Amino acid sequence: MSNKFSTRMSRIKKSFIREILKVTIDPEIISFAGGLPNPDSFPIEGIKKACAEVLETDAKNALQYSTTEGYLPLREYIAERYVNIKGLKATADEILITNGSQQGLDLTGKIFLNRNDYVIIEKPGYLGAIQALSIYEPRFRPVELYEDGIDIPMLKKTLRKYPVKLYYSVPNFQNPSGISYSEEKRKEVAAILNDNPVVFVEDDPYGELRFTGADKSSVKKYKENNIILLGTFSKIVAPAFRLGWIYAEKDIMEKLIVAKQAADLHTNYFSQRVVFQHLKDNPLDEHILNICKLYKIQCDAMITAMQKHFPENIHYTIPEGGMFLWVTLPKGKSALELFEIAIKEKVAFVPGDPFYVDEENVNTLRLNYSCENETTIEEGIRRLAKAISSL
Amino acid sequence: MSNKFSTRMSRIKKSFIREILKVTIDPEIISFAGGLPNPDSFPIEGIKKACAEVLETDAKNALQYSTTEGYLPLREYIAERYVNIKGLKATADEILITNGSQQGLDLTGKIFLNRNDYVIIEKPGYLGAIQALSIYEPRFRPVELYEDGIDIPMLKKTLRKYPVKLYYSVPNFQNPSGISYSEEKRKEVAAILNDNPVVFVEDDPYGELRFTGADKSSVKKYKENNIILLGTFSKIVAPAFRLGWIYAEKDIMEKLIVAKQAADLHTNYFSQRVVFQHLKDNPLDEHILNICKLYKIQCDAMITAMQKHFPENIHYTIPEGGMFLWVTLPKGKSALELFEIAIKEKVAFVPGDPFYVDEENVNTLRLNYSCENETTIEEGIRRLAKAISSL
């Protein structure tokens, strides 16, 4: 690479998943590699009416520049949901509207990270966060994820050993693993962090997509300060609007607003107006229930098919919500090798590699179930099982 | 400030203009402080029909996640305009859709700038660029702007003296000054830069808003490599969509796509679809002609009023397009002081200070004419003249 580019760009690889998705364009391939919400769940009629309504009643404002913070009624709506659903004390001035929660990650990196700052990330961890934060050249310290959440002794050890700046976490139905933190672990994490200046980033794109089991508290419930929550309408309304948000306390919010303004002035205002209008006219909770019903059927179909077709020595997580589950092959087996075989069997997934910052050629892989119907899922898992057998 | 934040954030001030706009909320104040396109020019009917059409015919795709580069037909449309209007050899794969051209600036800073890299900026320079690039902690080297463009000897001297990484420019109807580079200066700039590894950033939000004088070439016409063009639909369709773009050669585009993906995955796809549908159904050139007619009337009204009311010793630029003009008070006078008096006279503008990286308490100020009608402009300039007299 020529030295005309900044050093930060030399650390970033082209997206692994992008490359994989190119292979899966073949229509004969059943793909569990994506991470898209099911378009059958998009509230098309509501959006159609909302567009018409906004343009009929207030077009000149709805098409104009707006404030960096975002549309106030939408921010109030988000704050109220935190109050009503999570029992948090959120107010609208603690909410910043972002271009999807991916931008929340970029702004978080921007305002907190100097080069070589330490960041705790779950292992495996969310690829989008690894990419976004890598731009700011931190040193990642991965901490193992168990089926009930983070490895607490390892977390403590890491915090003792390094002056950690950020701890990035997806406590609900994590991408890639489908794992959720137990209520107990949330409390423990908060207690540990309350003695430490680390900022906790609670990324929660899937939290509302619970189709089984009891709701869990936000870590924010147990930790008042040095915590940022990221949320998004991508999985509960539609992704194309790129509407996410950051919920943060005052001193952090001030920096976020300055960084957001420098980054793009403000988020698409027309879409903020349309989505708010839609949410005002159509109860979101009902809509979410329907998405959860759909995803439960798909997740159950995948698990049933795995129970039927997979060899005994293949381990997989059983998520209580969200869009992903996580498969572990026997030790020493390579998910990348499996991928090559699977493509020949016309089934695709994401090998675990991009979700690790410190390992390669791992024996884990991610399956997405939100975009295929039961029959296709059964057939895809049958093919995958066949690929596993010939590995 | 606590050291929990990154050092880059300590360099950034809260937007000066934001603070000023707060003062101008008083409805009795005539404000020339804004920088908004006139909402009377928004193609409301076209957008309404485009929303309906997109949602009627392809809702599931239009509401889904999409590619980082942006909607291909929209990128083709943009590339074709460069070919047809500017005679450039643009292709769709050289176009990246961004959240307004402000994000183009952020991505440019991100991929090119290491801390302490040198950046040439016009003096006065565009505030949004100063803010966006400041995040990456460069050293700005301002080069004076004359009424026909950059100060060429000073540009050469700066390039000899410093290993400059970027040269940021708004060659058409610059914000804040309304100044355009002459054709001759464009050639000269290109010739100078062709011997130098500096990357030229040609930001052109207003170029299509020419209401008098002959069209000028893009600097890209004279310079093939190491050049980035930024464009936007904010001033020719509507700003709320936050639809801008970067036009860049292959090696730069590759880095931009990686940075864009890390920053927010992709730009609002629904809006890309809607704006493309609108552009397909409604000839843009005709629409732009109407905007130009409107702005010419407003600009003429402002200049006529200044000729009538301003003392002889006040200098102002006479723009051939765009939304701004630039007033210079006599030496030693302070635009900030004038602002205080003007507010009491119920008229507002932006004092020149935020457009300089190396001067304070300057004697220049920016006036915006795109948002008020002729009568209000005449009255506002009368008030401003009164304030100037009592300065």
Chain A: nearest CA to B325, how far in angstroms?
20
Cα B72 to the center of its chain, rounded Å = 25
Tokens 């609900």 correspond to A172
Residue B252 has pLDDT above 80, yes or no: yes
Average pLDDT, chain A: 96
Q: What is the number of residues in chain B?
A: 391
Place B1 in a pLDDT band, splitting at 50, 70 and 90.
very low
Instruction: List the Cα angle A133/A119/A229 in 5-degree steps.
Output: 70
Burial of B343 (0-12, 13-18, 19+ CB in 10 A): middle
The pLDDT, as a whole number, for residue B23 is: 78
Q: Give the span between the Cα atoms of B103 and B231, in whole angstroms.
A: 11
Question: Taking Cα atoms as reference points, which of B3, B36, B39 lies closest to residue B17?
Answer: B36
Amino acid at position B374, single letter: E
The pLDDT, as a whole number, for residue B54 is: 98
Residue B13 has pLDDT above 70, yes or no: no
Which SS3 state, helix, strand or coil, does residue A105 take? helix
A316: phi then psi, degrees, rounded to nearest 5: -145, 150
Q: What does the block give as tokens for A199?
A: 């900022």
Which SS3 state, helix, strand or coil, does residue B351 take? strand
- Out of A55, A62, A240, name the one closest to residue B268 (CB): A240
Place A17 in a pLDDT band, splitting at 50, 70 and 90.
confident
Pairing of β B324-328 and β A95-99: unpaired
The least confident of A268-272, B6-10, B166-170, B290-294 is B6-10
Q: Give the span between the Cα atoms of B318 and B320, in whole angstroms.
A: 7
Domains of chain B: 7-43+286-389 (3.90.1150.10), 46-281 (3.40.640.10)
Which SS3 state, helix, strand or coil, does residue A110 take? helix
Place A25 in a pLDDT band, splitting at 50, 70 and 90.
confident
Best residue in B118, B228, B243, B270 for a mutation probing chain A (most A CBs within 10 Å): B270
Q: What is the number of residues in chain A?
A: 391
CB A237 within 8 A of CB A247: no
Q: What does the block give as tokens for B164?
A: 């400059």
Predicted confidence (pLDDT) per residue in A50-96, tens digit: 999 999 999 999 999 999 999 999 999 999 999 999 999 999 999 99
The pLDDT, as a whole number, for residue A153 is: 98
Q: Give the span between the Cα atoms of A243 and A239, in whole angstroms.
A: 7
Segment A163-181 shows an average pLDDT of 98
Nearest-Cα residue of chain B relative to residue A1: B251
Residues of B in contact with A128 (CB under 8 A): 265
Q: Give the span between the Cα atoms of A220 and A174, in whole angstroms.
A: 17
Q: What does the block give as tokens for B69?
A: 């580069």
Q: The whole model's pTM is what?
A: 0.97
Q: Do A6 and B262 touch (CB under 8 A)?
A: no
In this structure, the number of other CB atoms found within 10 A of the CB of residue B263 comes to 30
Place B35 in a pLDDT band, splitting at 50, 70 and 90.
very high
Average pLDDT, chain B: 96
What would you measure as the largest C-alpha separation in chain A, in angstroms?
62
Best residue in A270, A275, A277, A323 for a mutation probing chain B (most B CBs within 10 Å): A270
Q: What does the block give as tokens for B137?
A: 């902690």
Residue B10 has pLDDT above 90, yes or no: no
Q: Give the span between the Cα atoms of A321 and A175, in whole angstroms.
A: 11
Predicted confidence (pLDDT) per residue in B161-187, tens digit: 999 999 999 999 999 999 999 999 999
Nearest-Cα residue of chain A relative to residue B109: A6
Which is it for the CA torsion B330, B332, B335, B341, positive or negative?
negative
Helix H, strand E, coil C: the string for A152-192 is HHHHHHHHHHCCEEEEEECCCCCCCCCCCCCHHHHHHHHHH
Place B17 in a pLDDT band, splitting at 50, 70 and 90.
confident
Q: What does the block give as tokens for A33?
A: 């590699």
Which SS3 state, helix, strand or coil, does residue A208 take? coil
Q: What does the block give as tokens for B87?
A: 């005679």
CB A63 within 8 A of CB A270: yes
Helix H, strand E, coil C: the string for A215-237 is CCCCHHHHCCCCEEEEEECCCCC
Burial of B162 (0-12, 13-18, 19+ CB in 10 A): middle
Tokens 């008020």 correspond to B372
- Out of A18, A39, A268, name the one closest to residue B64 (CB): A39
Amino acid at position A121, single letter: I
Q: Give the span between the Cα atoms of B359 and A65, in whole angstroms.
A: 29
Nearest-Cα residue of chain B relative to residue A69: B18
DSSP bridge partners of B229: B202, B247
Residues of B in contact with A287 (CB under 8 A): none
CB A391 within 8 A of CB A338: yes
- Out of A15, A103, A270, name the one closest to residue B264 (CB): A103
In this structure, the number of other CB atoms found within 10 A of the CB of residue A241 comes to 26
Amino acid at position A75, single letter: R
Q: Give the span between the Cα atoms of B270 and B59, in whole angstroms.
A: 9
Predicted confidence (pLDDT) per residue in B254-267, tens digit: 999 999 999 999 99
Q: Give the span between the Cα atoms of B203 and B42, in whole angstroms.
A: 22
Q: Give the span between the Cα atoms of B99 and B241, in whole angstroms.
A: 8
Residue B113 has pLDDT above 80, yes or no: yes
- Out of B134, B262, B271, name the one closest to residue A271 (CB): B271
Chain A: nearest CA to B83, how far in angstroms?
27
- Out of A51, A135, A262, name the one closest to residue B262 (CB): A135
Instruction: List the Cα angle A243/A249/A253 in 5-degree steps.
Output: 55
| Helix orientation angle between B127-134 and A250-264, rounded to the nearest 10 degrees | 120
Q: Do B239 and A65 touch (CB under 8 A)?
A: yes
In this structure, the number of other CB atoms found within 10 A of the CB of residue B84 comes to 11
